[in-house]
Amino acid sequence: MSSDWSASAAVVGFIANLMPLFTHEHHQGVYSARSLLDGTLVLPLPDGKWSDEDAMVRIHWQGDASRISTVHGDLFATPIVERYVRLHAVGASEEAIAAELWFMANHFTHKTGCTLYLPNHQEPPHPAVRIGRKAMEIGQGILVNLLSPKL
């Protein structure tokens, strides 16, 4: 697999598409992602020192070449994807945000071959299940009203 299609490059490409948090940039001839919030630069690492499955990325914090970290791309991407989902879901319910995060986590896996770190996140229920739950809540209210003594 060429470094252009490595897991590391795929993670960087995914992050770069999370606008308006990040944008695409070519840094010294390398396709990278730049934070529009603080200038942090995310670069893919070429195959070699780590296994491609590790999807390691190099982070230049606030764009400062003297402040560098090398981290697993999926771990770095997790809070960014969560923030992206929340930004685009302003005003939505937590249930809707969780469903969108589930979709984005699956999309991340499809695009990169990596998995976001969301240990407690569960698949959202099918819409029919949600409707059934709402009907049960409504039905319980009616049942309580019918059985309650009239005051």
Q: What is the pLDDT of residues 38-73, one digit of tens each?
A: 999 999 997 666 666 679 999 999 989 899 999 999
Q: What is the mean pLDDT of residues 76-98?
A: 93
49, part of any domain: yes
Rounded CA gap, 31 and 24, in Å?
A: 7
86, part of any domain: yes
Give residue 124's pLDDT.
Answer: 77
Give the total number of structural domains in the chain. 1
44, part of any domain: yes
Q: Are strands 41-44 and 30-35 parallel, antiparallel or unpaired?
A: antiparallel
Give residue 116's pLDDT.
Answer: 95
Q: Is the per-residue pLDDT at 15 higher than 70?
A: yes
Position 24, amino acid: H
Give residue 54's pLDDT.
Answer: 78
132, part of any domain: no
Range of the structural domain that residue 17 is part of: 3-119
Q: How far is CA 94 from CA 100, 119, 123, in A?
A: 10, 17, 14
7, part of any domain: yes
Confidence grade of residue 101 (pLDDT, cut at 50, 70, 90)? very high
Give residue 100's pLDDT.
Answer: 92
Q: What is the mean pLDDT of residues 131-138?
A: 50
